[in-house]
Structure 1
C-alpha cells in the first residue's frame, strides 16, 4: 500500500495535447526508474458538479484547454524526496522541460499548475 503521493492538475492547450502526452509518457518512465511505484495522468471529461468549484474554474482554463489531473505514487515521503532529487539530476530531463523554459516551445504554463504532496487519510 502506498504511503505518499504527489498530485497535480494543470491546463494544457488542446493543440499541444498530443505532444504533452508524449512528454508525460517519458516523464512517467523516468519517475518509475527513480523510485515511483506508479505514475498516472488523466484528461478531464466530466468536470462540473453543481454546487462545487470545477477544475477549469479553479485553473482559469480557456475553452481551448484540456484539464490534466495526475498523481505519482511512492512508498513514503522519503522515497518521494529521493526520487525527486534523482529525477532533477537525470540527464533526460532538460530536453523534456525545454518547453517550460523556452516560451516559443511552451506546451503548457507551469505557473498555472497546482501541485502538492499528500499523505494517506483513508485507504
Structure 2
C-alpha cells in the first residue's frame, strides 16, 4: 500500500501564481525521487469551524488562502529515501540562483506522513 505526505499552508492570495510556479518547480523533484503523484490544491471552500479549522491551523489571515497538498509514494521506504535526498538537494534551497522564492511563510506549514488504512475507488466503467 502507498504512503502519503500531507501539507497545509497559508499562501498570500496575491501569490497564487507564484505558488503554482513554486509547486511546478519543486513537485518535479518529488517525482524524480520516487513519488507516484503530487496534488497541489488551492482553497475554494474552506469554512471556519467552531473549535478549529484549516485556516486556524496555519494562522491564515484574511488576505491568505489555504493550500492543501499531498504526495503519494509507493511505500514508506521510498518516501524516507526520497525525502532525505530532497532535503540534501541544492535545488530545494530558495537562495540558490534559479530556484523560485518561497511564496508563503514556511514556519506556519503543517505536514506529516500518513499510512493509508482505507482506500475506496469508484468502479471502472
Q: What TM-score do you get using the length of structure 2 for normalisation? A: 0.82
**Relative to total residues, which structure has the larger helix share, 1 or 2?**
1
Across the two proteins, how many residue pairs are aligned to each other? 115
Specify the alignment match of 2:62 in structure 1.
Answer: 63
Correspondence 1:98 to 2:98: no
Q: Distance in 2 between matches of 1:112 and 1:14?
A: 15
* C-alpha deviation, 1:106, in angstroms: 5.2
Q: Distance in 2 between matches of 1:27 and 1:56?
A: 24
Q: Distance in 2 between matches of 1:64 and 1:6?
A: 26
* C-alpha deviation, 1:25, in angstroms: 0.6
Q: Distance in 2 between matches of 1:50 and 1:108?
A: 23
Specify the alignment match of 1:86 in structure 2.
Answer: 85
- Structure 1 stretch displaced more, 49-58 or 69-78: 49-58
User: What's the secondary structure of 2:113's corresponding residue?
Assistant: strand
Specify the alignment match of 1:32 in structure 2.
Answer: 31
User: What's the secondary structure of 2:90's corresponding residue?
Assistant: coil
Q: Distance in 2 between matches of 1:55 and 1:33?
A: 30
Q: Distance in 1 between matches of 2:103 and 2:27?
A: 17
CA change 1:41–1:91 in 2 (3 A) is same
CA change 1:37–1:46 in 2 (3 A) is same
Structure 2: gaps spanning 5 or more residues: 120-125
User: Which of residues 106, 110, 113 in structure 1 aligns to 2:106?
Assistant: 110
Q: Distance in 2 between matches of 1:55 and 1:79?
A: 28
Specify the alignment match of 1:102 in structure 2.
Answer: none
